[in-house]
Amino acid sequence: METKDKTKTFDAVKMMREIRDKISDETQNMTLDQLKKYIADRLKKSHLKTVGR
């Protein structure tokens, strides 16, 4: 069986690493309370709900 040559148009691993690095930079020196507020603010802006609520 031959495999077809596919070129990636989207690299999910690269995107995930970029997002993770950005979040790490933004939250690096936060206290636990600051981190909780950061997460709550991001969830509110994205209109997503936390699990179990």
Tens-place pLDDT, residues 4-37: 777 878 999 999 999 999 999 999 999 999 999 9
Position 34 in a domain = yes
- Cα 33 to Cα 5, 10, 21, 25, 40, distances in angstroms: 49, 36, 21, 17, 11
pLDDT of residue 27: 96
pLDDT of residue 32: 97
Position 47 in a domain = yes
Position 18 in a domain = no
Position 36 in a domain = yes
Position 4 in a domain = no
* Number of independent structural domains in the chain: 1
Position 6 in a domain = no
pLDDT of residue 53: 58
Tens-place pLDDT, residues 42-51: 988 997 777 7
Q: What is the domain range of residue 52?
A: 23-53
Distance CA 27, CA 21 (A): 10
pTM above 0.75, yes or no: no
